[in-house]
Structure 1
């Protein structure tokens, strides 16, 4: 790889890192090509970019960006997953894959510039995803007016029952 190719790779990696809300460093030592392809397909499905790069190039690309704290910890075989929209989705896919494949391991990560340990990434993976949270929020927001309408409908119903009882009582007294 010549200098121009390295410079291009560094600029691409730097652009990905600056756009990403989460960056997770993984160890892929011992994985077969088919297993890596399977992982990349799963990650791509949730909008996560997974790149295997040389540590020196990754250090240069991450320097000065939001995930700069990762650069000093890059050692041995490393691959970086960049998540853009939903950081929980990236953590979920990588954690599930680490559970199913013993050769694959999550090392550490960065969420919007804050360091994440392996345990923190595992905890993040257990959170509901962004669409699930939005659905719960919408359900909660919808419950308030629905309960309000039901409350007034019950009040009107009780008022009608009271009027019917008074009518029956007066008809019974008149007869």
Structure 2
């Protein structure tokens, strides 16, 4: 069933808003994926803050024209699922992780910070830790010297306490 003009405009406006907020776009071919697998992928994406959409390619091209994602409009052919995310790595991570377990999902490419990514670029972006993981690692680095100093002082106090008792 085809969409009428007002429905097409609504889809274009919705995707344009997604593209305006997003840092990353990942495109993947979904030919042959079962409905259950697609539902699982959408569920994982939703939990990570990724918006997955199956769109007509002409509507997708119109929606991203004028945005930083316009550079991949020539690659928008075939049955594609589009993943937009505000988090720089979330879309790439969701799609790449799912593609590892389901060989029917084929990553076609993407865009991050205005730069076109090929399949390997999307996979490399997916391997970058999330913002939360990076922040926790940074906090761990800051806490390490403080905790070491506290342990040394506690050991010294304990040793002096043993000497005083003896």
1:43 aligned residue: 45
C-alpha displacement of 1:130:
1.6
Q: Are the counterparts in 2 of residues 88 and 125 from structure 1 also a CA contact under 8 Å?
A: yes
Q: Deviations over 1:25-57 (max 9, x none)?
A: 110111122221111011111110000111111
TM-score by length of structure 2 reads: 0.87
Matches within 5 A, 1:116-131: 116-131=117-132
1:21 aligned residue: 23
CA–CA separation in structure 1 for the residues paired with 2:37 and 2:123: 21
TM-score by length of structure 1 reads: 0.82
CA RMSD of aligned residues (A): 2.1
Of 92-101 and 102-111, the range deviating more from structure 2: 92-101
2:72 aligned residue: 70
Q: Deviations over 1:93-133 (max 9, x none)?
A: 21121121111111000112111111111122222222111
1:171 aligned residue: none
Tell me, which stretches of 5 or more residues in structure 1 are unaligned? 165-175
1:170 aligned residue: none
The total of aligned residue pairs comes to 162
1:104 aligned residue: 105
